[in-house]
Amino acid sequence: MKIEYHPAVEDELRYIIKYYNQRVPGLGASFLSDFDHQIAIIAANPEIGATISGDIRCSLLKRFPYAVYFKVTQNRVIRVTVVKHQKRHPAYGIRRK
């Protein structure tokens, strides 16, 4: 399936990668690898994860405490709307389209 990203997701990923690289050099690349792996899992099985609200689903990264929020559009495109830390407020980004 085709994957699309909300414009804010790029900023979120940059921030997270920078944060981890400041803690341990190269850890940001490990985060990005884990994120890419999770996106591949979502693309192979779009019904994975828990339904959060309406058509928004959530899939957790394996190594890092982050969640990927996504939905499948009417055109069968996976739209990633949010990448957020699991301790972040539950309503963060939930209204993104």
Report yes or no on 44 lying in a domain: yes
In-domain check, residue 17: yes
Q: Give pLDDT, residue 94.
A: 85
- Give a yes or no: residue 96 inside a domain: no
Ranked by mean pLDDT, the top range of 14-23, 41-50, 52-61, 70-79 is 14-23
pLDDT of the residue at 90:
87
CATH of the domain at 38: 3.30.2310.20
14 pLDDT more than 90: yes
Domain that holds residue 26: 2-85
Q: Sign of dihedral through CA atoms 27, 32, 36, 41? A: positive
- 13 inside domain: yes
Question: Does 49 reside within a domain?
Answer: yes
Number of domains observed in the structure of the chain: 1
- The reported pLDDT for the residue numbered 1 is 82
Would 7 be classed as within a structural domain? yes
Which residue has tokens 């921030």?
15
d(CA 76, CA 11): 25
The per-residue DSSP string of 50-68 comes to EEEETTEEEEE-SSSSEEE
